[in-house]
Structure 1
Amino acid sequence: MNHTRPDFICIGPKRSATTWLADQLKFHRDIWLTPIQELSYLSGGFPGHHGKPYMAMRWTGREIAKRVIRNKGPGIMADRAFLRAAGSLANSTFDLAGYRTLFAPAGRRVSGDISPMYASMTAPEIARALPVLTNARIFLLARDPVQRFWSELSMHARKGTFGTVDYAAMPVVRAFFDDPARQRQHLLSDIVDRWRDGIGTDRLGILFFDDIVHDPEESLRTIVGMIGADWSKRLPGLAPGRNRKQGRVALDPNPDVRRAVRDWFGDELDRCAALFGTHGAAWRDRPPA
């Protein structure tokens, strides 16, 4: 077992290009990502994965294609080894040594964990995970909190998460903003503070969603270099600007609701402007449209 694994951890938060990143990294010969895209093990273990269909080998055409891309070949033994380790963790108490075994199929390749829920980790949870964070490159994808909020709520509207309600109505939007379980995703400045306090100010890398949108190839080059992979080993087949979630229909709340959300985030946007400089100031100065 490689006792330095994982090599990197991306802590999200949700709707900040984590899926784009995972898709892109699978197209590098010296990067291996786990069959479960969002492990979320460090934030609560594996009980949520127990008994799920993806905890066993699947043989549909789509799953085989995904396996070939991820493993740069058939990858049957690698996936089986991962699933054995994952199955063991799903039936055990929190086990950091076991968590490391999830990355053993990577061999000599770079491997890591891209889990948006890590942005919600509390200080005690970060402290508990420190033994596997010591050698990992840890980075955050930072997005305008207001835009991220609307993107996440739009996702729930598409899925019908809260039933047949008007997801753009003020009471629903307010309830989503006030939900204590979601506040740790809403407030980007708190995420940065929690993680910097937990791992050290200088260890948290920050990349900006706006930069990914503006120049996806340069952003991807930066990430690939940061996690210790070789850009020259990137495979053809997926343009850096390709995002399979791009173009999905978003909510269209009325101007009063948009202004209200912008006001609710007012203090947070001021904190982001102080914390992130030019990027944060641009978020603060964006009109609520």
Structure 2
Amino acid sequence: MIGPDFLCIGAQKAGTRWLYDQLQWHPDFWMPPIKELHFFDGRFTKHFTQHYERIYRNALNDLSKVNERRKKQAGRPLDERDKDFLIRAKRLADSESQSLDDYLRLFEMSGTKITGDITPAYSILRKNEIKQIRSALPALKIIFIVRDPISRVWSHYCMLEKEDKTFPFSELTADRFMEFLKRDNVMARSFPSKTITRWKEYYPNMLTWLFDDIRDHPDSSRQEILKYLGATPAAEKIPIDSDFNRKSKGKKREMPEDIRAILEEYFKKEIEWCKANIGGATSSWS
């Protein structure tokens, strides 16, 4: 089958970068040099072009420069397969008609290795869009990593504050935070029950994993996810530790108590659903 063997559909701020790092180094996998492709949510051209212009344009002429940068970030070195991917992806990004077949052919250079697309934005796709994916890729494996809605939303806020300053910490009040919380993009990503229900209708064997388990039990999490994807789970095959986190040195801002109180009330029913339908570490969620 041409195309990805799996999609990781998120959630945003729930460990998808950890998963990409683990898989890009595993010898059973070939992962695209760009983590998020955004084909199915219609943002492929914008997202790819940003990465291409900022990082990968020089890769077509000199892989060594890009690989020096990737080495500092613990990324696997690029090779000729990655150049082929970038050439095809650039052609697709510049095309007025971006067909599914062209997207699927991006993964041809994976050969017999397992390959996939890790794009958290896929978690908010509508049912008709998921149905179309199912029609084209019925054997696809789906991974969804669930994070406590309270901590996920706060992490989302901190990311946005850093990136575009729309909601600066200096102006953080309960009312301003509610403005952020009710934004369409935030709301759509904050209810795992809805994502799981939509996707399981078409992919009943999707794997739902908990961010808590990745954080607290990275070895067993890596092993079980690799098994699900059909890969060898042996730890010695991966040259980075199971608890590797490229963002671990970043400063974390504490959630104010008044904001926590708002979120605990707001997500009370959602957390009850997670406890009843997912179980495991969700029992400790507030």
Q: Would you call these one fold, judging by a TM-score over 0.5?
A: yes
Q: Counterparts of 2:169 and 2:264 in 1: how far apart (Å)?
A: 22
Aligned residue for 1:136? 140
TM-score when scaled to structure 1? 0.87
Q: Verify: 1:172 aligned to 2:176, yes or no.
A: yes
In structure 1, list runs of 5 or more residues that go unmatched: none
- Residues 213 and 281 in structure 2, CA contact (< 8 A), matched pair in contact too: no
CA contact (8 A) 1:137 1:227 kept: yes
Report the equivalent of 1:64: 67
- Structure 1 residues 30-41: aligned runs within 5 Å: 30-41=28-39
How far did residue 20 of structure 1 move? 0.7
Tell me the distance in 2 between the aligned counterparts of 1:238 and 1:167.
40
Other structure's SS at 1:78 match = helix
- Deviations along 1:79-104, whole A, 9 cap, x unmatched? 22111221222123341111111111
Residue among 7, 13, 16 paired with 2:14: 16
Aligned equivalent of 1:119: 123
1:177 aligned partner, one-letter code:
L
Between the aligned partners of 2:89 and 2:236, the Cα distance in structure 1 is 28
Asked if the contact 2:154/2:255 (under 8 Å) is kept, the reply is no
Task: State the secondary structure of the residue aligned to 2:4.
Answer: coil
Whole-angstrom distance in 1 between the partners of 2:65 and 2:156 = 26
Cα separation, partners in 2 of 1:128 and 1:230, compared to 1, 3 Å: same
Q: 1:251 to 1:271 in 2, by over 3 A?
A: same
Residue number among 77, 81, 86 corresponding to 1:78 in the alignment: 81
Q: TM-score, normalised by structure 2?
A: 0.87
Deviation at 1:34, TM superposition (A): 0.3
How much does 1:262 deviate?
1.2
1:183 counterpart letter in structure 2: M
Equivalent residue number for residue 25 of structure 1: 23
Change (3 A) 1:205 1:163: closer
RMSD value over aligned CA atoms? 2.5
Question: 2: distance between equivalents of 1:204 and 1:231?
Answer: 19
Structure 2 CA distance for aligned equivalents of residues 273 and 259 of structure 1:
19
Task: Rate the CA distance shift 1:184–1:261 in 2: closer, same or farther, 3 A.
Answer: same
Deviation at 1:55, TM superposition (A): 5.6
Structure-2 change in CA distance of 1:236 and 1:203 (3 Å): closer
**Is 1:6 matched up with 2:9?**
no
Q: CA deviation at 1:47?
A: 2.6
Match of 1:88 among 86, 91, 97: 91
Aligned residues: 278
Matched with 2:226 is 224
* 1:272 and 1:280 in contact (8 A); partners too: yes
- Which of the residues 197, 203, 206 maps onto 1:204? 206
CA distance in 2, matches of 1:150, 1:120: 18
The alignment partner of 1:56 has SS state of helix
State the AA in 1 paired with 2:14: S
1:138 aligns to what SS in structure 2?
Answer: strand
SS at match of 1:31: coil
Alignment-derived partner of residue 40 in structure 2: 42
2:157 alignment partner in structure 1: 153
The CA distance in 2 between the partners of 1:278 and 1:191, in whole Å, is 18
**Range 128-137 or range 13-22, more displaced:** 128-137
Structure-1 separation of matches of 2:110 and 2:211: 28
Paired AA for residue 248 in structure 1: G
- Cα 1:50–1:216 change in 2 (3 A) is closer
Displacement of 1:248: 2.5
